[in-house]
Structure 1
Amino acid sequence: MSLQRHETVANKTGVEPAIAHRQLLLAMSYRMLGSLADAEDATQEAYVRWLRLSGLERAEVVSPRAWLLKVVGRICLDMLTSARARRERYVGEWLPEPAPAGVWTSHGATPQSDPSDRIEVAEAVSMALLVVLETMTPAERVVFVLHDSLQFTFKEIAAVVGRSPAACRQLAASARARTHSSRRSEVSARDLKEAVRAFTAAWETGDVSRLVAVLDPKVALVVDSGGRVSAPSSVVHGATDCAQALCSVLVRQPDVQFELRSVNGAPGVRAAGADGSSLAVVSFGIDARHALDVIWVMRNPAKLVYWN
């Protein structure tokens, strides 16, 4: 189908006003779900529901953007609720799926994209925040994203999650308390980048003592393998044990290559095999002394699809 013909069909079916917000829907779904693939599915389902509306029903929608965001919120709430049971059977540690730079612009951009969505899409979702979001109940997470990221009123959110406005206000307060209690020290992007560079240079040498020197003594190493590849089955604590676990990678994969990459908008590392495929994506937390105190490693191939 030609581009002109495609646009004509889009206009007749009422898709164009809604498709302009695809990037925003993907970004918000990712915040709610912590999974790029699930965000794609949630966004797709929202558009399916939009197309199921009659022409008259679509004409009555004052704001396709608000309508789609509310529908995505309901879809994500359902997906989060069903995902909790699956995660109880998950092998090893669970981490959110890391997002590479430009994931929304490469997968969600359209000529009709609404400029008003750009700031909200561009706001990076740090791995630290996503990890905190994983500790919330499904309702807390959806309420937090809709209220704090999108400034939905509690009355509007109540219609999404099926709770009273007062209950939604309480959920938001509970979610915000979780983020505040887990808030990390403010460190500049430059300081984090320098720390990650030092970490990568030390890791490449396989020198445990050199790697220990750039880590916080109480550093935690969290590896998500999904039980599909080799990885520690639980969190590793302490600089020496973490350094030994990381350096053992070079014994098993002597041809591994390390690249500094943006992971969820922050400096991170991609480890690639000889064939260029992604073996791991690493993101970091840093303390006020500029020492790395949390290392999140994604090894599950199913969560590295967007990195290949």
Structure 2
Amino acid sequence: MGSDDFTPHRRRLLDVAYRILGTVTDAEDVVQEAWLRWSAVDRSEVANPQAFLVTVTTRLAIDRLRQVRARREAYPGPWLPELISTRPDPADRAELAESVELALLVVLETLSPLERAAFVLHEAFGFSHADIAGVIGRSEAATRQLARRARDHVRAARPRFETDRGQRRRLTERFLAACFGGDLDGLVELLAADVRLVSDGGGRAKAPLRVIEGADRVGRFLTSISNDDGAQRFLVSIGLPTPAEFAIAVEDVNGGPAIVVRVGARVVLVFAVEAVDDRIGTVFLVANPEKLAAMSRPGEGAASNPA
């Protein structure tokens, strides 16, 4: 059987799988498996192809998440989701853009697989609790409880006062200027007193294995890695020749502004900030090449931009 009747649904399936799993690679594997199952099914018995495919994809994603959780627990240092390049979204896509924000995906990692699936389907895609119950194979009452627990947990873990997109971009641009301009005092002024820096090198790139806390410590670390010597040491850690020229810009990543550092066409480093009340509360630093692979291959449709 051909894939023509599967293709219209592929983007939506990647949307769902990426939000449940947090990695493009796993999401693509799950959607490929969903396609294989779709190819083997008797279509005359499928009343609603999209509902069928979302159900299959969600169940496969839940199973995959249970399998990878053990590996993530043994991960060297903090584990952060795989990043994706996103474009500014029209109003009718705003909620989907928010549902791939890095800070939210980090919080979703603390939910159980079923809680995460219930949250994603209800909050991002507007599925009813009755529909979600059919997807995950639980009663409607149990599904409501899963979704409520997930929503309460997310609300408790997210910042109380979030800045809007324009403010976040301006703050990110100021962060870039101070960080890469070696302005330690200016950088510290942008940071909340209790700021946290969470970095993911995955054992494949030079990055702290523990969270760094406090404005002074975070500021000093960031300015140290942004100077010429620190930058060249980082290149050595990921196996690139030195010296090399970096291209640095603020781009839309996972639904929000982030600092993207490239060497040629390859994305080598991303800084994303979580802003609260005009200050930076968290800095996410992603250096693991595997987590940046999707950003180095733009233009691949839903795989590189699930939102």
Scaled by the length of structure 1, the TM-score of the pair is 0.84
Check the 8 A contact 1:31/1:145 in 2, yes or no: yes
CA contact (8 A) 1:18 1:65 kept: no
Give 1:17's aligned residue.
5
Matched residue of 1:20: which SS?
A: helix
How far apart, CA to CA, are the structure 2 residues paired with 1:173 and 1:205? 45
What does the per-residue CA deviation read over 1:24-70, in whole Å, with 9 as the maximum and x for residues that have no partner? 111111111111111111111111110011xxx21221211111101
Flag the 1:120–1:187 CA change in 2: closer, same or farther, 3 A. closer
Match of 2:129 among 138, 147, 154: 154
Letter in 1 for 2:285: V
Q: How far is the alpha carbon of 1:221 from its aligned partner?
A: 0.4
Contact persistence 2:97–2:254 (CA under 8 A): no
The counterpart of 1:300, out of the listed 281, 288, 295, is 288
User: What amino acid maps onto 1:138 in structure 2?
Assistant: P
Name the structure 2 match of 1:94: 79
**Aligned: 1:272 with 2:262:** yes
- Residues 231-263 of structure 1 show CA distances to partners (whole Å, capped at 9, x for unaligned) of 111111011111111112123215544211111
Question: Could you tell me how far apart the structure 2 residues matched to 1:16 and 1:120 are?
Answer: 28
Is the aligned partner of 1:60 residue 2:48?
no
Equivalent runs, 1:177-188 vs 2, <5 Å: 177-184=152-159, 185-188=161-164
Between 151-160 and 292-301, report the one with greater CA deviation: 151-160
Q: Which has the higher contact order (CA 8 A, sep 6+)?
A: 2
Instruction: Give % identity.
Output: 39
Partner of 1:127: 102
Q: Is the partner of 1:213 in helix, strand or coil?
A: helix
Alpha-carbon deviation of 1:119? Answer: 7.5
CA drift at 1:18: 2.7
Separation in structure 2 between the aligned mates of residue 279 and residue 131 of structure 1, nearest angstrom: 20
Q: Aligned match of 2:117 in 142, 165, 172?
A: 142
Q: Matched residues in 1 for 2:58 and 2:166: separation?
A: 35
Q: Cα deviation per residue 1:157-179 (whole Å; 9 max; x = unaligned)?
A: 23333332222111111001011
Residue of structure 2 equivalent to 1:209: 185
Residue matched to 2:61: 76
Aligned-residue offset at 1:276:
4.6
**Alignment-derived partner of residue 259 in structure 1:** 249
Q: Secondary structure at the match of 2:285?
A: strand
Size of the alignment, in residue pairs?
279
Give ranges in structure 1 of 5+ residues lacking alignment: 1-12, 106-116
1:196–1:267 contact (8 Å) kept in structure 2: yes
User: TM-score, structure 2 length as denominator?
Assistant: 0.85
For 2:211 and 2:102, how far apart are their aligned partners in 1? 16
Q: Secondary structure at the match of 1:22?
A: helix
Gapped regions of structure 2 (runs ≥ 5): 233-244, 297-307
SS of 2:251's partner is: strand
CA contact under 8 A between 2:55 and 2:136: conserved in structure 1? Answer: no
